[in-house]
Amino acid sequence: MNVKKQIPNILSVFRLFMIPVFVVYYFKYTVLPKTLISAGVFVLAWVTDALDGYLARRNNWITDVGKLLDPLADKLMQITAAVCFTIDNRIFLMFLIPLVLKELLMLIGAIIIMKNKKAAVQASWYGKVATILLFVCAFARIIVRGNAVFDTVIASVMLLTMLFALVMYYLKDFKGKYI
């Protein structure tokens, strides 16, 4: 077995272990500059996500385990951050509930596509743009806490970004093709 081929999977597992670390520091440190610790964990998770994807594609280290592990780590970190934000301010429920529903719909859609076409759902430009915007918004929210107006704006931008990506995936990748 090629150990190097497992590096992206190791990075994904590392991201899974960062989730509880993020939660602990998010709630332990609620004011600047100490919020930078949870922000740093969040950024490190995002960087390792980009790195594992880059390494897997560049070196052809794509594995079946990685195809499941990578998105699982990503989604769990996203949902965990949204839950943390919602605990701080219920306005984030307007993002959290649709986020969970979206992920369930994407999972169902991916299963239907794989079952009918035996192909995996590929990432697209709108999914990548949405991921970056959600990351930036979440990072900003981690740093700026306790401001109700800011929270409302951030939650709204996150919701609209996520809904845009969901609609685009439906229109471009799913509608009329599988059901």
- Could you tell me if residue 45 is inside a domain? yes
Q: Cα separation of 78 and 41, whole Å?
A: 13
Number of residues that this document lists for the chain: 179
Q: Is residue 18 part of a domain?
A: yes
Nearest to 106 by CA among 75, 62, 67, 64: 75
Does residue 1 have a pLDDT over 80? no
**With bands split at pLDDT 50, 70 and 90, how would you rate the model's confidence at 113?**
confident
The answer to the question of residue 107 being in a domain is yes
Predicted local distance difference test score (pLDDT) of residue 121: 58
- Please report whether residue 179 resides in a domain: no
Residue 38 backbone dihedrals phi, psi, to 5 degrees: -65, -35
| 35-49 residue pLDDT tens | 999 999 999 999 999
DSSP state at residue 74: H
Q: Give me the domain span that covers residue 158.
A: 4-174
Alpha-helix runs per DSSP H in the chain: 7-28, 35-58, 64-88, 93-117, 125-143, 148-169
Q: How many CA atoms lie within 13 A of 44 on its CB side?
A: 15
129 located within any domain: yes
In a domain, 11, yes or no: yes
Give a yes or no: residue 30 inside a domain: yes
Task: Give 128's pLDDT tier (boundaries 50, 70, 90).
Answer: confident
**Total domain count, the chain:** 1
List the CATH number of the domain containing 120. 1.20.120.1760
Q: Which residue has the higher pLDDT, 3 or 89?
A: 89
Residue-wise pLDDT tens digits, 133-176: 999 999 999 999 989 999 999 999 999 999 998 898 888 877 76
Cβ-contact 59, 79 below 8 angstroms: no
Averaged pLDDT of the chain: 89
End-to-end CA distance of the chain: 40
Query: In whole angstroms, what separates CA 174 from the centre of its chain?
Result: 21
Round to whole Å and give the CA distance between 71 and 141. 22
